[in-house]
Amino acid sequence: MDGELVHRDELLALDWFVRAANEGHSTALSYLAYQCYGGRFLERNASHAERLANAAAKKGCAKVHNLLGVIYWKEFKADPHGAMQTKFLDHWKFAAAAGCQESLDNTKEFGVDMHGIISEEEFDGVREECEEALTIEWTEDREEWSKDR
Q: What is the mean pLDDT of residues 31-38?
A: 94
Residues 5 and 53 in one domain: yes
Residues 146 and 60: their CA atoms lie apart, in Å, by 10
**Residue where one domain finishes, among candidates 11, 38, 60:** 60
Q: Are residues 140 and 124 in the same domain?
A: yes
Distance between CA atoms of residues 62 and 69, nearest Å: 12
For helices 65-78 and 87-97, give the axis angle rounded to 10 degrees.
160
- 0.85 exceeded by pTM: no
Selection from 33, 39, 35 nearest residue 53 by Cα = 33
Q: Which residues form the domain of 127?
A: 62-149
Domain co-membership, 111 together with 123: yes
Beta strands in 84-135 (DSSP E): none
Which of 19, 43, 60 terminates a domain? The answer is 60
pLDDT in tens, 116-133: 989 999 999 999 999 988
Q: Per residue in 56-100, pLDDT tens?
A: 999 999 989 999 999 999 988 888 887 777 899 999 999 999 999
Give φ, ψ of 118 to 5 degrees: -120, 155
Question: What is the tally of structural domains in the chain?
Answer: 2
pLDDT given for residue 3 in this prediction: 42
Position 77 scores a pLDDT of 87
Residues 9 and 47 in one domain: yes
Same domain for 112 and 70? yes
Same domain, 27 and 78: no
Co-location of 49 and 77 in the same domain: no
Residue that finishes a domain, picked among 36, 60, 84:
60
Q: Do 78 and 98 lie in a common domain? A: yes
Q: Are residues 14 and 38 in the same domain?
A: yes
Q: How far apart are CA 22 and CA 54, in angstroms?
A: 14
